[in-house]
Each structure stands twice: as C-alpha cells, then as structure tokens.
Chain A
Amino acid sequence: MPDRAPRLFQTYVSLLLAGGMGALALAASEVRALDPAIVGGFVVAAFLAQSSPARPRPDITVSLINVVLFCALLVAGRGLAVVAAVAAVTAMTRQVTDRPGVRLAFNAGMHVVSTFLAGTVFLALGGVPGDLASVLEPRGVGVVLVSALVLTVANNGLMAVTLRLTRGERLWQAFLELVGSAAVLQVFYVGLSIVAAVLLLEVHAIALVLLLVPALVARSGLLGFQAETEAYDRMVRAFVKAIEVKDGYTRGHAERVATLAEEVASELGFAYDDRVLARYGALLHDVGKIGIPLTIINKRGPLDDEEFARIREHPETGAEMLRDIDFLGPAVEIVRYHHERMDGRGYPHGVAHTELPPLVRIVTAVDAFDAMTSTRSYRRALDVGTAMAELRRCAGAQFDPDVVDALDRVVQRLDWQPTIDLTGPEPAAPRRLTRAAR
C-alpha cells in the first residue's frame, strides 16, 4: 500500500466502519436475551481462534475464526455471530503493526458487515438458530451452504475492493484469486461448524475438546510446513551461494535471477506454485557449472571446441543432479533448457519454442538480462536500458516476446539497477554479446 491511503479508500473504510457500527447496534439488541455464559464463551473462542493463525503461504492465512462465527450463527443467531466477529477484530490489534488505524478499521468493518449479511441471509431463508433438526434436513443444508457462500463472497468482495483502491488491481481478478485460495477451506469450515454446534447443543460443551485435537494437529502441520518452507528456502540459497562463491563475477547472479523470475512469473499471471518453481529453477539453473574449471568460465578470449563442449554440458549435468527432488519436477526443465532458444538454435538439445515450457522461457530471458547487467571477466555491466534493447532485438528468435515485455515492466516497477561490483576484478575488452548469457 502507498504511504498515504487515497481519499477514495478512506471514504470506503469510513462507510464500511459505519455499516459495521449499525450492524453491531442491531446485533447488541439481539444478544441481550442470550445466556451470558454462551456469549462469553464465543467471545473467548473467537479471540483465541483469531490469535492463532497459520500462514502456509505468504498470501494465505488459515484460522478457525470462520468456524467460530458460523457455529455462533447456528447456535444462537446473527447477534452472537456479529459480537464474536468484533472479538476477533480485537485479537487483530496485536497482529497489525503497519498502519494499524486504517487496517483495523477496515478489518472491523469487513468482518462485522459480512457476518451480519450472512446471518441475515440465513434468517431470511428460514434458518432457525438453535434448531439442528431443521439444519440437517436437505432444505436446511441448502440454507447453511448459501449463507456460508454469502460470508465468503462478502469477505473476499470487500477485500478485493480494497486491493482495487490501494494497489489498482483489477477487481474481478483480485476477487477470483482471493476466493480461489479460500474456497476449499470454506467447505471444511461449514462442516466443522455443524459438528461443533451439535456438540454444544446436543451433547456437552466439554466434547468440543474432541474437535479441538484434530484442529490443533492440523495447525501444527501448517506451522511446521511454514517453518520448514522457510528453512528450505534458506538452505537452497546457502548451497547456491556456496557454489557461486568461487567466481567473483557471478556472485549473487542466481539470487537476482530468482527474484526477477518470480516477479516476471507473477507479472504474467502464473499461480503461486508456478511462481515458486520459477524461483527455485532460477536459483539452481547453473548448479551444473560446478565441475567446470574457472579458467574456462572466465576465459577472456574465445573458447576452443573442447572448452565449449564442457560449457555445453552444464544444463544437463545440473538437471541430472536435481532429478530426484520430486518437488522441483518442472523446475528441473528450467535447469535443463535454460540455454535453449525460441528458434531451436540453443544448446545443448536444440529444441524449439514448441517444446520450451513457459517457466523455462522466463528464466532464459532473465538469465540473459542479469548476465548483461552485471560485470563479467570479458566486459563491464551494461545499463538496464541497453540490456532491454538487446533483449528486444533478440525477442522472437532467442527469447519469448511476452516474457521480454513482462520483464520490461518488472524492471521499471522495481527500478532495477545494474550490478556493479567495485571490488571485483577488472574486465577485459568487450566481447560479442550473444555469448554473454553463458
């Protein structure tokens, strides 16, 4: 988000907050008739659920808050659900550090309004809070599913508007991405809410412990996943850094290519999993160079046939090395084909564009771009504009034009600068550019 929220966004948040206040006022009158123990229990549950989220991906937060909200709706109706939503927002105060005022106001408005909407739809369709027998009939199931849908659409719709107003993302696309990542979880949430409501109303509150155990195991799995994913990333980067450290000229090359490849993949609209693969493929694309003597890699004059043969081997050597890492799968193709060209005149396989997967094309172009914009033994770093012009000249024959366009937008957005290592060795006279991406 930019430093100062645009006025339109501030108006939006104010409206949302006002709507939330209204919903809360209505809800408060509904809650007064309820057993204070139940209200207190749900407030605590909502607070705890919101306080312990797991973040399996940077863009996805998983918590049981929707289970609590929906269970409140089934057990005691709209009022209790809205009050629980407010309790959840208070838990966020500790989680939000960046511009807390606006974000808390937005979150409060969003949660309260969407919970209120879902509750209203539930009641309007004839749902009876506290009556599970009606919920379990086919019609009741339909009502529950529709109100769950309303909750999801309202939550993500309001969020998508925010993304539109603050980051200028396309409304529909932002909405679809948000819903897509949360849709599977919604089904779990609704099912769990029904089980929890049955336990509360028909069995005994203490039986909720039984529901909590699988939930905690799921959470520990997600937290473990989160921690190990970060550890894995550090590990791969440490290995790559150790491989690069010998050669002063390529130091940091893999990291830069990885950053740019991920950005370009994102610019081209690739899904999260593909962006991650692009990143790892880019990080590891040159591991096969490990067996080539530095005297060949940094040779200032032209390479003889035998030396060039050694260079030609490195994509295949690298791919072979990484073959058994199941998760990398398609990223191994990046390593194998990162010196191929669109016209089929690349090495070592000489395959043409029809066989080059999109992720490979991204890394090919980014690799060449970073090679040109950093200092090598045989020439100095080019500036970004010159390098982009060279990429454009070779677009179609060597690189995918769409990728080159996307890369252009990315380097402008990031204000990318060439890598000039002042401590590195002095380069010799410039050599032909087409071999720069070696």
Chain B
Amino acid sequence: MTVRQRVRGVAAVVAMTVAATAVGLAWYALDHPLEPRGRLWLFVLAAALGERFPFPQVRGRDVPVSVAVVAAFALLGNPPLQVAVVAVGGWALVAMQTAREGGRPRWLDLLASASGAWATAGFAALAAAAMPWATIAAHGSPDQPVHVAAVLAVWGTVVLGVPLWEAVEVTGRTGAPTLPIHLGLVRSSWTRGMALASAAALGALVHSVLGVWTLPLLLLPLLAARLGLVRHATVQRTAAQTVRAMSRLPEELGSVSRGHGVRVGSLAVAIARELGVSDPEVADVERAAHLHELGRIQGEPGEELEDRAVALAGASIVRETGSLDRVADLIERHPDPYRVAGLGEDGTLPIGARIVRTVCAFDRELSRAHGDQAVWRALEHLHAGSAYAHDPVVLGALTRILGRQGRI
C-alpha cells in the first residue's frame, strides 16, 4: 500500500464523517433538554460492552453491537452531542484497552455507530413528521410515541449505513468502485444489521416502562444472538484453517516446494478480487488454490506424477468431503488450457481454474529462478504461454498485483 493510497483512504473517511456530522446536526436541533448524567454513563457502559463483543463475521469486519445501543439512545430523543458522547465514550473505553494490548483501535466502528445514530435520529424525525399516523406508543407515556417510521429508519440506516464506512475505506485503499463493495457487504451482513436495528427500536419502545432495566434486557437478546453467531464463525474459520493446513500434505512428499499452497492461495485471492469475483466464489478459489496439489498424496514420496492425474485424484478426494463440490470442480479443471488450437477459447473453463493454473505456474517458475530479476523472468515465461496456457486477463491482473506489492 503506497502512501498516496493511505492518504486517499483517510481523506475519504474524514470527508464522509464531516459530511454526516453536518447533516446530522442540521437535521437535529440542539435545544433538547439534557439527559440525567447517570443514565448517560449507563449507556456509555453498554456501548462499550457492545463494542467489546461485536457480531463476528468470517470475511470482512465484525459488526459492532454498540451500534444498537447508540441508535437506541438517539431514538429516545437525546440531543446529538450526547449521542456523540455515548458513541465516543463507549468506543474509547474499548479502544484504550485495545491499544494497551498492542492492537489498533477500530476507527470504522466509531464512525459507524455515531453516524448511524445521527442518521437514524434524523430520518426518524423526518419520517415521523411525514407519517404522523404510523405510531406505536407505550401506554405509560403516550407523549413519547415511537413511530413505525422510526423503526424503518433504524433498520435502513443500520443495515445500509454500517457497511458503508468499510466500503469507503476499501475504495480509498484499493481504488475499487464503492457501490459493488458496499452491496456485497450489505448482502453478507444484513441479518446482523436487522438484529441490531430491531434491538435498538425495541430499547426505545420499552424504555418508558422498564427504565434502568432497559439496557440489560436489551443487550440480552443481542448477546444470545451473538452466541450462535460466534459459534458459527468459529467453525467456519476452523474449516478454512484446516484446508490451509491440508495444503501442506503434498509438500511433505517432496515434489512440491514448501509453502506453495499457501502462497498460491494468497495470490489467487488477490487476483480473484481484482477481477471482481464475488465473495463466496473467492473463498472457493482460495480453497482450490490450497488443495490443487492434494492428489499427490496418493503417490509415494518423490514420485513424479502427471498434472492432470494429480488434479483428478485431488478433485475426487475433495468431493468426498461432501461440502466442497465447487472447489473440486476448480481443482479438476485447473490443468486445462484456456484456449485450444483450432477451437478457440474454452468458455466452460471457470475463472477460478484459470487463476489457480496461472498462479501455480508462476510460483513454480519463481521457485526455480534466482536473482533480482526472478519475478520478471517468471512472468516472461508465463507470457510466452499466453496463446493457449494462460489467460491474458489473469496474467494482466497478476502483473498489476505484483506491481502493487512492489515486487516488480
């Protein structure tokens, strides 16, 4: 990552924050009465808890539970400055701890919860004014109705707003277009967003009845949901780590260089992302890259095997797992050329198989070549085969990524 890209990323995030803050402040008058201090600190504490125990996500960032706490606080009609105090306070408590443990504070979480809360409050006020009939009021306090519109507003802002910052950050970092990234993130996190937003609306609804009990009772369903999500994420991560570990099996036999599977995996993922492959497919490409030599374990140590036989054997092992059929297809087809003389381009060859083929060849060439021109010479070899063996689109992406990594 170059300095320029980093600056661009930071600038984009700062600009969006300033804009969101300005809009939130403008929408929301400053003449609200002040919240009693004690309750404010309770919310800060709850926000810290939510920040400390986020909803886990296997790919991408965790979704902070503090979003729900801060949004609920905003929905209760508290002034924007106090909303900011809750968001910053809760975040800072955890950030201090993170920094002390040597980790990096998660700025995006702060932006997500604060801006999400302001936007929620703003939208809720606007929508409530537009649809005065759609209200649900607690019997105890008919003067503080919660609008259905407010619930819709909090759903919208949390589901769409929380991933927005991450999308902007990725754009700043890589220069990739924001909208598709944002949509991808929304698709993978919307159920979590809905759960958080619903809890926020719930908190605002029951607050007049439950008083101080609101926060613990509001956090309960979220922590319950988290339990399931954490377990799910853990087993998904375990499966990915196991596949990665299995990439070392053929390397123990001596016919594949050490770390080949892991190196091919990380380059293949970068290329797949560069070529706009969708998230679940990127995961398949990574697994296929890790396991593309697996078939070698059916031979004896040092035995020379033909690539296609290795691919077929590996694919049949992977198919046995019952859950990795798409990965098996990629492994099976990865030795195939993208074009056949006289027949033209093979349209049935998946992009993942082309990527694995080219990256595998690149890594093999590289482990043979030495000196400071090694990467260039490896690329040269691949380009020489671009008529049939290696898809120029994949080669182009590989070259760009190597350039970005400063390796050429």
Contact = CB atoms under 8 A, between A and B. Distances in A.
Interface of A: 54, 56, 132, 136, 185, 187-188, 191-192, 194-195, 198-199, 201-204, 206-207, 209-211, 213-222, 224-225, 228-229, 231-232, 234-236, 238-239, 241-243, 245-246, 287-288, 290-294, 317, 321-328
Nearest to B230: A221
Given A217-B191, A229-B235, A242-B298, A210 B220 contact: no
B217 A324 contact: no
Interface in B45-76: none
Contacts of B239: 228, 231-232, 235
Interface stretch (B8-16, B34-42, B135-143, B391-399): B135-143
Interface string B279-314: 000000000000000100110110000000000000
A293 B194 contact: no
Contact of A239 (B220, B246, B298): B246
A222 B232 contact: yes
A294 B248 CA distance: 19
Contact of B136 (A192, A204, A287): A204
A199 B225 CA distance: 19
Contacts of A324: 241, 244-245
Contact of A228 (B223, B232, B249, B252): B232
B202 A287 contact: no
Given A228-B232, A235-B323, A317-B252, A203 B221 contact: no
A359 B227 CA distance: 27
B297 A243 contact: yes
B205 interface: yes
A238 B136 contact: no
A195 B221 CA distance: 10
A293 B299 CA distance: 10
A236 B320 CA distance: 10
A214 B222 contact: yes
Main secondary structure of the interface of B (DSSP, over half): helix
B228 A210 contact: no
Nearest to A241: B320
A260 B191 CA distance: 41
Given A317-B252, A324-B244, A136 B220 contact: no
Q: List the 10 closest A-B pairs by CB distance, nearest first.
A: A221-B228, A291-B252, A191-B220, A213-B198, A218-B225, A238-B320, A231-B323, A217-B195, A221-B229, A327-B238
Contacts of B206: 195, 198-199, 202-203
B317 A238 contact: yes
Given A198-B210, A213-B194, A290-B252, A221 B136 contact: no
B165 to A, nearest CB: 21
A198 B202 CA distance: 10
B220 A225 contact: no
B236 A228 contact: yes
A145 B388 CA distance: 72
Contacts of B102: none
A239 B323 CA distance: 13
B231 A235 contact: no
B164 interface: no
Nearest to A191: B220
Contacts of A185: 224
A290 B224 contact: no
A22 to B, nearest CB: 34
B241 A294 contact: no
A221 B297 contact: no
B320 A325 contact: no
Contacts of A218: 195, 221, 224-229
B199 interface: yes
A191 B230 CA distance: 21
Interface of B: 136-140, 151, 191-192, 194-195, 198-199, 201-202, 205-206, 209-211, 213, 216-218, 220-232, 234-239, 241-246, 248-249, 252-254, 294, 297-298, 300-301, 317-318, 320-324
Given A191-B217, A231-B323, A327-B238, 20 more contacts: A56-B228, A195-B217, A195-B218, A199-B205, A203-B137, A203-B139, A203-B205, A213-B195, A217-B228, A219-B228, A222-B232, A228-B235, A235-B239, A238-B318, A242-B294, A246-B298, A321-B249, A322-B245, A325-B238, A327-B234
Nearest to A322: B245
A326 B238 contact: yes
B229 A203 contact: no
A293 B199 CA distance: 59
B5 to A, nearest CB: 29
B242 A236 contact: yes
A214 B238 contact: no
Contacts of B198: 209-211, 213-214
Contact of B225 (A132, A221, A234, A246): A221
Contact of A202 (B138, B192, B228): B138
Contacts of A236: 242
Contact of A291 (B205, B301, B321): B301
Contacts of B236: 228
Contacts of A288: 252
Nearest to A217: B195
B253 to A, nearest CB: 6
A245 B313 CA distance: 12
A287 B249 CA distance: 8
A198 B209 contact: yes
A211 B202 contact: yes
Contacts of B241: 324-327
Counting chain B CB atoms within 10 Å of each CB, which of A195, A201, A327, A328 scores highest? A195
Contacts of B217: 191, 194-195
A207 B297 contact: no
Contacts of A323: 245
B136 A203 contact: yes
Contacts of B235: 225, 228-229, 232, 327
Contact of A195 (B138, B202, B324): B202
Contacts of B225: 214-215, 217-218, 221
Nearest to B244: A324
A235 B248 CA distance: 16
Nearest to A185: B224
A292 B301 contact: yes
Contacts of A327: 234-235, 237-238, 241
A192 to B, nearest CB: 6
B300 A234 contact: no
Contacts of B222: 214
A56 B237 CA distance: 17
B199 A214 contact: yes
A228 B240 CA distance: 12
B224 A214 contact: yes
Contact of A290 (B216, B223, B253): B253
B53 to A, nearest CB: 14
A234 B209 CA distance: 50
Counting chain A CB atoms within 10 Å of each CB, which of B213, B218, B244 scores highest? B213
12 contacts: A199-B202, A207-B202, A211-B221, A217-B229, A220-B191, A220-B228, A228-B236, A232-B238, A242-B317, A288-B252, A291-B252, A322-B245
B262 to A, nearest CB: 10
A159 B294 CA distance: 48
Contacts of B220: 187-188, 191-192, 195
